[in-house]
Amino acid sequence: MTEEQFWSGLGDYQEQILNIITNLSSKTYVGIVNLKNKQTWWSQRVVDFFGLEKNVFDYAMEKSTVKVHPDDREKYLKGFSDRMQGKHLNERFEYRLMTGKYTCSLFSAYGQIVRDEQGEPVLFVLVSENHGISDEIDSVTGLYSEEMFDEHINDIIQRKVPAAILKVGIEQFSRINVLYGVEYANRVLSEVTYLLRCAAADQGFVYRLSGPKFALVFKRKNKEQMQKVYHFIQDSLSDRLYINDKKVPLRIAGGAFILENYAMDAIAVRSRLTYAMNHSRHKHHGELVIYNDEIDSDMHDNLELISVIHRDAIEKREGFFLCYQPIADTKDGEIRGMEALLRWKKEPYGVVPPGVFIEWLEEDPCIFDLGNWIISQALRDLKEISKEKPDFFVNVNISAGQIERKEFRDTVLWLLKKSGLKPEQLCMELTERCRELDVNFLKQEIDFFKSKGIKVAMDDFGTGNASLALALDLPVDELKIDMSFVRGIQEKPMKQAMVQSIVSFAQNTEKETCIEGVEDKVLLDYLKKYHATWHQGYYYSRPIPFNEFKTLLHDSEKKQTQLRRKLYEQSNHFRSNSLHWM
Ligand code: C2E
Ligand code: CA
Ligand code: CA
């Protein structure tokens, strides 16, 4: 029997055989198009996925586009028809298929052409693979994630396509989380997604960035058109968003960037968008800020610098190091601990303080790994000091992007265990953005760390979200009173009253306090009357590299010993004199 005879004998069973083969892998979906009459057969898995009533259709595209994510339809149709015409045959193309109202799976497909003996195309075979819910798709909104945003922007830059990009952030979204819970918040995000997709219409793509932030990428739009889109989004979200028939008015901030110069990468684009959006939030009451208008050349240098730092944070961590600032006991002025403060250094920029970059890095997932490196480095340095001072402690600044990660608990415990130090030698300072997290969540995390003996402080108390109400709610061990309360305190009764009430509140709730910004002796002497637990500031020392810090500790110890000896001698002298007198 020849091969031909073998196959022709199987004529009736072809479909069953095909289904058996294609069902071998649960991820594989197959379509076969007869190129002569365009009739198409879909494998059983496709039929099930789309809920089709039969396997064969008259047109290839019939039914198969319904579930393609609207943003990907154009790409899907082009990918399909290109390959049917024999173009890009060995290249895969990706698209999302909707699996629910807002959920998607990522698919990648490739096509092959079957030819007859004359070389004429007869059949087109499309094989696609279901990658499920991958990191590339946000599971709440079905939108492409930040990773894909970067990838697509890099592609646009490489192909030098003109593009206009809009970043939109929902203001105070954490309140929705706190008030109504995560499930409700996710529904809000889904509805926001729907409205954003309406705003993008068929001219743009929508991406979910971190948290309640989104990006819209348009092929070509000028500033006026971007303003129009933004106003549409602003109006829709403040007025047209309903859940369970109840209006949910949302405020937004927005930054846009028109891509005209291609000497940059996605990270630089994101930096620009973040910069413009932060300006919108802090300086323009949520009105759209277009980066191209706002930024002068000075700032340009700064942004290039941030891109370099960002890359270091992701890749090598090469330029980062820690400086330490002493924390002194107010009772005797002795240095009993230190705060670790991040620096970055590289030529030709020199040493760069965190004020320039920390806000940007905190927006990025890289802060988690960088933050872990900071903790482990601070513990390593503390270990060295601990040999002589076993109770010395280190304060480390913690960002929201660290504490909100599930692995954070285990990571901290592991780093601490590895160091062999006592848990109470580590104090975690919750910085400004941590306080935007859900209060109940924060409480849980603080309780957890406290139960392990680790200390937790609230940084910059009295500013931003760090109100007394929050302090009442959060079981922190220490309040660090922000420097702004101390500046000019001698002449400002309001500030005096604030510091006094924070310290009394802390004492009544058995919390410690640290006054920051103690710059000179006069201020120090004045502040003593508040009886805070700790003092910190330039008077003791500016933040300095670890080697200098060790020298400082040695010197201050020598000074303390001399001082103690002097006091001892004075008191002896006084005693002998008084004895004499008696
Ligand atoms: P912070 O935690 O409130 O740190 C205190 C800042 O005040 C430090 O600035 C310090 O150099 C400065 N400072 C200390 N004493 C005085 C004083 O007497 N007078 C004045 N005028 N300033 C004083 P720095 O190092 O530039 O840090 C700025 C902020 O960056 C920090 O504020 C903190 O929020 C953030 N940061 C620093 N290191 C890290 C880090 O490792 N991780 C995270 N997440 N944030 C960090
Ligand atoms: Ca701090
Ligand atoms: Ca502080």
**Residue 201 backbone phi and psi in degrees, to 5:** 45, -140
| pLDDT score for 344 | 92
Average pLDDT of the chain is 87
The reply to whether ligand 1 has any atom less than 6 angstroms from the CB of 325 is yes
> Which residue has 């780093």 as its token pair?
415
The reply to whether ligand 1 has any atom less than 6 angstroms from the CB of 404 is no
| pLDDT score for 579 | 43
**Separation of 414 CA from ligand 1 center, angstroms?**
26
| pLDDT score for 310 | 82
Residue list, CB under 5 A from ion ligand 2:
397, 429, 459
CA angle 53, 56, 61 (to 5 degrees): 95
* Cα distance between residue 448 and residue 444, in whole Å: 6
- Whether residue 578 has pLDDT greater than 50: no
Of the listed ranges 220-224, 527-531, 539-543, 558-562, the one predicted with least confidence: 558-562
Which burial class, exposed, middle or buried, applies to 544 when counting CB atoms under 10 A from its CB (0-12, 13-18, 19+)?
middle
* Cα distance between residue 15 and residue 124, in whole Å: 16
What value does the mean pLDDT take over residues 6-13? 78
The band of 350, judged by pLDDT with boundaries at 50, 70 and 90, is confident
- Which tokens in the block code for residue 342? 């991040």
pLDDT digit string, tens, across residues 403-427: 999 999 999 999 999 999 999 999 9
Which of 341, 342, 395, 412 gets mutated to test ligand 1 (max ligand atoms within 8 A of its CB)? Answer: 341
Of the listed ranges 47-61, 139-153, 192-206, the one predicted with least confidence: 47-61
Q: Calculate the alpha carbon distances from 223 to 214, 228, 292, 393, 541 in Å.
A: 19, 9, 9, 53, 49
| pLDDT score for 296 | 53
- Whether residue 132 has pLDDT greater than 60: yes
- Whether residue 465 has pLDDT greater than 70: no
**Separation of 513 CA from ligand 1 center, angstroms?**
17
Of the listed ranges 211-215, 219-223, 432-436, the one predicted with least confidence: 432-436
* C-alpha 34 chain-centroid distance: 49
The band of 444, judged by pLDDT with boundaries at 50, 70 and 90, is very high
Q: Which residues pair with 32 in a beta bridge?
A: 41, 125
Please report which ligand is nearest the Cα atom of 481. 3
pLDDT digit string, tens, across residues 249-306: 899 999 999 998 888 888 888 888 888 888 888 778 899 999 876 665 556 667 777 7
Please answer whether residues 168 and 247 qualify as being in contact, where contact means their C-beta atoms are separated by less than 8 angstroms.
no
Please answer whether residues 352 and 309 qualify as being in contact, where contact means their C-beta atoms are separated by less than 8 angstroms.
yes
- Whether residue 22 has pLDDT greater than 90: no
What value does the mean pLDDT take over residues 469-488? 87
Residue nearest to atom 25 of ligand 1 (CA): 341
| pLDDT score for 294 | 63
> Which residue has 């069953």 as its token pair?
16
Q: Which residues pair with 427 in a beta bridge?
A: 395, 455
- End-to-end CA gap in the chain: 132
| pLDDT score for 477 | 96
The reply to whether ligand 1 has any atom less than 6 angstroms from the CB of 399 is yes
- Whether residue 447 has pLDDT greater than 80: yes
Please answer whether residues 337 and 386 qualify as being in contact, where contact means their C-beta atoms are separated by less than 8 angstroms.
no
- Whether residue 576 has pLDDT greater than 70: no
* Cα distance between residue 357 and residue 40, in whole Å: 56
- Coil, helix or strand at residue 253: strand
- Whether residue 204 has pLDDT greater than 60: yes
* C-alpha 567 chain-centroid distance: 53
The band of 487, judged by pLDDT with boundaries at 50, 70 and 90, is very high
Residue nearest to atom 10 of ligand 1 (CA): 543
pLDDT digit string, tens, across residues 426-436: 999 999 888 87
* Range ranked top by mean pLDDT from 136-145, 458-467, 514-523: 514-523
* Cα distance between residue 523 and residue 539, in whole Å: 9
- Whether residue 314 has pLDDT greater than 60: yes
**pTM, rounded to two decimals:** 0.62
| pLDDT score for 254 | 96
pLDDT digit string, tens, across residues 145-188: 888 899 999 999 999 999 999 999 998 887 777 777 778 888 99
Q: Which residues pair with 137 in a beta bridge?
A: 144
**Separation of 494 CA from ligand 3 center, angstroms?**
20
* Cα distance between residue 185 and residue 191, in whole Å: 10
Among 463, 492, 459, residue whose Cα is nearest residue 477: 459
Query: Higher model confidence: residue 577 or residue 303?
Result: 303
Please answer whether residues 306 and 270 qualify as being in contact, where contact means their C-beta atoms are separated by less than 8 angstroms.
no
* Cα distance between residue 196 and residue 194, in whole Å: 5
- Whether residue 582 has pLDDT greater than 50: no
The band of 552, judged by pLDDT with boundaries at 50, 70 and 90, is very high
* Cα distance between residue 544 and residue 131, in whole Å: 50
The band of 323, judged by pLDDT with boundaries at 50, 70 and 90, is very high
| pLDDT score for 468 | 61
